[in-house]
């Protein structure tokens, strides 16, 4: 094992034992609970996941329960978390597990729907006790700083190098090590702004810290600009019901419900009662929306018409439309 890691691993584990956050998915660790939490945590903040994880596990306590559930109910339980394909994949993974049982090695884990290299490493090390690295943006950041490594962390070769380094450094507490790396990246070596080196177990050996260059690392490729979409959103009201439509089966927010949505101009439906603008930022796209509340005389047949209560209970409406929900009473 690399000399730096020899010192870094026990320091990190000791720090983790003392400082780790009390998070719901750290209380019981079954394969299923790790699968659910890791899929929820992909691209989503811990704070946003906490409550939803508990509610999800209550509603779908086992792979069998999730496999048997209605996809719409699963999407509803995922409402607001974004990246809804994760919910569909999680359900598919549960179906496979209900049929075939749990995988027992990293290849089996990686083959589950929705599980990429990072998540396969996390699940394998946390749930199966395997020395499988999980390298995400947080891990790339902390390691690039620990080694004062100026390699571009967006290069697959950099990731592969760190994965190999971690694989060789794994202690027997594989799950704690994996989560400790994430934890350090989340609460000490933070992604935005200055790292909190005063509380870092690696402060004495971190080469970036010793050279005062923490904030120059990691080196990343410049981000591509987001595509801007100008859209109109029609909140059509008719006798206490509202028009909904399903988004296309492919692409952004695939198959989720929305208020009638128009890229470009909106057809005339009736008198506009209220109007407001809202912006929603996705990873690669930015929606600049003009929303209109319109009273219509008769329900147009191309839409599903739902009451406010039904919208709240049944239809998963992405957060992008939250600003317009204030009209739904
Ligand atoms: N992000 C991804 N997985 C996580 C975990 N197990 N704990 C905290 N943050 C995470």
What are the pLDDT digits (tens) for 306-316?
A: 999 999 999 99
Mean pLDDT within 220-227: 91
Rounded Cα distance between 9 and 180, Å, is 10
Helices within the chain (DSSP H only): 3-19, 31-41, 46-59, 63-68, 71-77, 85-100, 106-110, 117-127, 137-146, 156-169, 174-187, 207-210, 308-313, 322-325
DSSP 153: T
Q: Is the separation of the CB atoms in 136 and 118 below 8 Å?
A: yes
Residue 28: per-residue pLDDT: 84
Residue 17: per-residue pLDDT: 98
Tell me the percentage of the chain whose pLDDT exceeds 70: 100
Tell me the percentage of the chain whose pLDDT exceeds 90: 96
Residue 63: per-residue pLDDT: 98
- Please count the other Cβ atoms lying within 10 Å of the Cβ belonging to residue 273: 12
Domain ranges of the chain: 3-216, 227-327
pLDDT, averaged across the chain: 96
Dump pLDDT digits (tens) for 185-216: 999 999 999 999 999 999 999 999 999 999 99
Residue 86: per-residue pLDDT: 96
Q: Determine the distance separating the centroid of ligand 1 and the alpha carbon of 155, expressed in angstroms.
A: 23
Ligand 1 contact, 38 CB (< 6 A): yes
**Strand 271-281 with 261-263, pairing:** unpaired
The CATH code for residues 227-327 is 3.90.79.10
Ligand 1 probe mutation, 30, 31, 38, 115, most atoms within 8 A of CB: 38
Q: Closest by alpha carbon to 126, among 22, 54, 29, 49?
A: 29
Identify the residue whose C-alpha is closest to ligand 1 atom 7. Answer: 179
Rounded Cα distance between 142 and 188, Å, is 9
Q: Closest by alpha carbon to 258, among 284, 283, 228, 278?
A: 278
Q: Is the separation of the CB atoms in 142 and 208 below 8 Å?
A: no
Ligand 1 probe mutation, 124, 176, 186, 187, most atoms within 8 A of CB: 186
Residue 53: per-residue pLDDT: 97
Rounded Cα distance between 290 and 268, Å, is 14
In order of 14, 34, 45, 89, 313, the CA distances from 17 in angstroms are 5, 19, 22, 32, 40
**Tell me: domain 3-216, CATH 3.40.50.720, correct?**
no
Ligand 1 contact, 41 CB (< 6 A): yes
| Phi, psi for 311 (deg, rounded to 5) | -60, -40
Q: Is the separation of the CB atoms in 84 and 90 below 8 Å?
A: no
DSSP 214: G
Buried b (16+ CB within 10 A) or exposed e, 136-154: bebbbbbbbbbbbbebebe
Residue 223 pLDDT exceeds 90: no
Mean pLDDT within 210-239: 95
Residue 1 pLDDT exceeds 90: no
Q: Closest by alpha carbon to 281, among 261, 252, 256?
A: 252
Dump pLDDT digits (tens) for 88-106: 999 999 999 999 999 999 9
Q: For tokens 């996941």, name the residue.
A: 49
Active site residues: 38
Residue 119: per-residue pLDDT: 98
Q: Closest by alpha carbon to 147, among 262, 8, 313?
A: 8
Dump pLDDT digits (tens) for 29-56: 999 999 999 999 998 999 999 999 999 9
Question: Among the listed ranges 88-92, 127-131, 145-149, 249-253, which one has the minimum average pLDDT value?
Answer: 249-253
Half-sphere exposure for 296 (CA within 13 Å, toward CB): 19
Rounded Cα distance between 250 and 204, Å, is 50
For residue 234, name the pLDDT band (cuts at 50, 70, 90).
very high
């Amino acid at each position: 094992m690399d000399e730096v890691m020899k010192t870094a691993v026990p320091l990190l584990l000791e720090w983790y034992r003392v400082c780790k956050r009390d998070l719901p998915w750290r209380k019981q660790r079954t394969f299923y609970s790790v699968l659910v939490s890791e899929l929820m945590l992909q691209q989503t903040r811990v704070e946003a996941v906490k409550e939803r994880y508990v509610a999800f596990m209550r509603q779908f306590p086992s792979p069998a329960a999730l496999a048997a559930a209605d996809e719409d109910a699963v999407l509803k339980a995922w409402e607001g978390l974004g990246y809804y394909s994760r919910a569909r994949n999680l359900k598919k993974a549960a179906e496979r597990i209900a049929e075939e049982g749990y995988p027992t090695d990293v290849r089996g884990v990686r083959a589950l729907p929705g599980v990429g290299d990072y998540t396969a490493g996390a699940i394998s090390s946390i749930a199966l006790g395997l020395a499988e690295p999980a390298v995400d943006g947080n891990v790339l950041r902390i390691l690039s700083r620990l080694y004062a490594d100026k390699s571009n962390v967006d290069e697959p070769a950099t990731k592969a190098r760190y994965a190999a380094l971690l694989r060789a450094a794994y202690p027997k507490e594989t799950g704690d090590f994996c989560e400790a790396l994430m934890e350090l990246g989340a609460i000490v070596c933070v992604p935005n702004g200055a790292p909190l080196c005063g509380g870092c177990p690696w402060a004495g050996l971190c080469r970036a810290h010793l050279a005062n260059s923490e904030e120059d690392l990691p080196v990343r490729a410049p981000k591509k600009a987001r595509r801007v979409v100008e859209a109109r959103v029609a909140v059509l009201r008719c006798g206490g019901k509202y028009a909904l439509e399903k988004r296309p089966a492919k692409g952004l927010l695939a198959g989720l419900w929305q208020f009638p949505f128009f890229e470009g101009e909106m057809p005339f439906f009736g008198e506009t009662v209220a109007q407001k603008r809202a912006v929603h930022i996705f990873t690669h796209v930015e929606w600049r929306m003009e929303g209109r509340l319109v009273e219509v005389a008769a329900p147009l047949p191309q839409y599903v018409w739902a009451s406010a209560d039904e919208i709240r209970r049944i239809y998963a409406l992405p957060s992008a439309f939250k600003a317009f929900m204030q009209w739904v009473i």
